[in-house]
Amino acid sequence: MDLTQLVLSRHSTKAFDPARKISGAVMESVRALLRNCPSSVNSQPWHFVIAASEVGKARIARATGGPYAYNGPKIQNASHVVVLCAKRDLDDAAVAERVAQEMRDGRFAEAADAEKQRASKAFYVSLHRDTRHDLPHWLEKQTYIALGSLLLGAAALGLAACPMEGFDPDVLAQELGLAARGLRPAVIVALGYASLDDWNAKLPKSRLPADVLFTEL
């Protein structure tokens, strides 16, 4: 299947088959995909909580009470559920950790190159913290880059997926102890295989026309 066919065929799954589970090998591909997602200045300001057990999924589903109850069955019936979390801050130690990892991975020929990367990361963190005053928002935006990669990658792996913002982030943060780790939940993705009750699979895709969406210069 080429890229266009893949994009046209994928959809947000509204009902999962609880009897079908994702294999360990396929989940390793999902983890590799998430770990290697791009981010601004390679900031990687994220953490991924993956639930496969019934207990783990039930803990995540606790955040779907009240007006979000419609998302509970998706979480409980999916094979795996991924919570994409964003760091609330990226301090000097976090920047240094990322530069050190880049050095271990052989990205710098000289120490001066590492310093340039550290300065670049620090500049953007300072820009969003001290000038634009939107650091948490900027960090959270990076998780949506990972979200896009995950959804397309899931389709390429033959998996059904459903991204969800319909949950109480405060409830989920408390349930998973995220605040103590400097994290905030951004979006939930259910992964697995669609059931016959997936009504969205039977509907045509609906998108705005190209002439509305694109400006060619």
pLDDT 10s digits, 104-148: 999 999 999 999 999 999 999 999 999 999 999 999 999 999 999
Tell me the residue type at 189: V
Would you tell me the crossing angle of helices 54-61 and 169-176 to the nearest 10 degrees? Answer: 140
Q: Is 54 a catalytic residue?
A: no
> Which residue in the list 57, 74, 87, 121 is annotated as catalytic?
74
Per CATH, which fold does 3-87+142-198 belong to?
Answer: NADH Oxidase (3.40.109)
Q: How far apart are the first and last CA of the chain?
A: 31
Q: Is 14 a catalytic residue?
A: yes
Buried b / exposed e along 94-120 (16+ C-beta atoms within 10 A): bbeebbeebeeeeebeeeeebeebbee
Q: What confidence tens digit (pLDDT) does each residue in 9-54 have?
A: 999 999 999 999 999 999 999 999 999 999 999 999 999 999 999 9
> Which residue in the list 28, 115, 165, 205 is annotated as catalytic?
165
Query: What is the distance between the alpha carbons of residues 196 and 117, in angstroms, rounded to a whole number?
Result: 50
Query: What is the distance between the alpha carbons of residues 158 and 19, in angstroms, rounded to a whole number?
Result: 16
pTM metric for this prediction? 0.96
